Amino acid sequence: MYTELFNLIGMMILLAGTGYVLSVIGLITKEGKKCITSLVVNVVLPCNIIAAFSQQLPAGIWSSLAVVLAVAVTAQVLSTLAARVCYNKLPDKERTVLRYATVCSNAGFMGNPLALGVFGDIGLLYASVYLIPQRIVMWSAGISYFSGEKDHKAMVKKVITHPCIIAVGVGLVLMILQIRLPGALGDTVDALSSCCTALSFLVIGSILAEIPLKTIFNGKLLLFSAQRLLILPALLYIICLLAGVDNGITGVCVLLTAMPAGTTTSLLAAMYHGDEIFATKCIVLTTLLSLLTTPLWCWILL
C-alpha cells in the first residue's frame, strides 16, 4: 500500500515537474496552457468519467453499493456544508477556490488505486460508486462557484449542458444497464481518458512556474489542509462507526474522503479567470501533506 502511495506521489511530482520545465523554457506558453486546460475540461475529463463508470458489476452486490452510495452522499453533504460556512471572510477568489477544493478531492486519481491496493477489487468497485455524488456536485455546484452565475435558470442550463455533467449521465446509464461501449468507440474513450492525469499535471506544473514555492506554506492553506485531510474524514469515520457500517465500506469511503484537493481546482480556476495560483498552492500543499496523513488513515482503518 505504501509503495502504491509513494509511486502515485512520485508520478505526480514528475509530471508537474515536466510542466514546470516546459513552461520555463517556453514550450508551454500562456496561450498553450489555456488550450490544454480547455481540452482537458471539455474532452479528456468527460471521457475519463465515462471510462470510470464503464465496468462490470458482480451479482448480488447492489445492497452493498447502496450503502456505499449513502455514505458517499453523507460525505458530500459534510463537504458542501463546510464549503458554505468556513470561508466567508476570505477574498472572493480565494473563497471560490477553497469551496471547490472542499467539495472536490483527488479521490478519482489517487483514491482509486489506493482503494485497490488496500482493499482489493471490491475496494475499487466501492470507490467507483463513492465518486458518483462527488462527480455530480463538482460539475454542478462546483462549476457555479467559479462561473458566478446569478441567474439560476442560466446556471442550471450551463450545468446540465456541461460536457462533464453529460458524461456523468452517460456513465450512470452505462453502469446501471451494464453496457460496454463497442469496439473503436470504447477504445477511443479509454485512450482519451488515459491522457487525463498527464495533461492535468502538465497544466499544474506550468502554473507552478509562476509561483514562489516558499509562499505555499501559509496559515490559510495549512488550516484548509487540516480540514481536507483530517477533519472531514474523521467526521465521516465517526458517523460510519455510529451507524454500524461495514468495515470495508467504511475504510474505502473514509480513505477517499481523506484525499487532497482535486486537480480540477486549478484547471477550472484557470478556465474561469479565477485565482489559479492560489488553487495550485492548495493542490500542491494538500498532496504533499497527504504523504503523512494517508498512511495514518490506512493504519487507523486497518
| The pLDDT value given to residue 238 | 97
H/E/C letters for each residue in 123-184?
HHHHHHHHHHHHHHHHCCHHHHHHHCCCCHHHHHHHHHCCHHHHHHHHHHHHHHHCCCCCHH
pLDDT per residue of the chain (302 residues) written in tens, 0 to 9: 567 667 766 787 888 889 889 999 999 888 888 888 888 878 988 888 788 777 676 666 778 889 999 999 999 999 999 999 989 888 989 999 999 999 988 887 777 767 777 777 678 778 878 888 888 888 777 777 887 665 566 666 766 777 877 887 888 888 888 888 888 999 999 899 888 878 878 887 887 787 777 778 888 999 999 999 999 999 999 999 999 999 999 999 999 999 989 888 888 888 888 888 899 889 889 988 887 888 888 888 87
Can you state the percent helix, strand and coil of the chain, rounding each to 5? Answer: 80, 0, 20
| The pLDDT value given to residue 37 | 80
- Main-chain dihedrals φ then ψ at residue 250, nearest 5 degrees: -60, -45
Alpha carbons 285 and 288: distance in angstroms, whole number: 5
Alpha carbons 24 and 27: distance in angstroms, whole number: 8
| The pLDDT value given to residue 264 | 84
Alpha carbons 113 and 81: distance in angstroms, whole number: 28
pTM: 0.77
Domains of the chain: 2-296 (1.20.1530.20)
Alpha carbons 54 and 174: distance in angstroms, whole number: 6
The set of residues, in sequence order, having a beta carbon less than 8 Å from that of 268 and lying 6+ positions away, is 41, 100, 142, 143, 146, 274, 279
- Main-chain dihedrals φ then ψ at residue 261, nearest 5 degrees: -60, 145
| The pLDDT value given to residue 75 | 95
Alpha carbons 47 and 168: distance in angstroms, whole number: 10
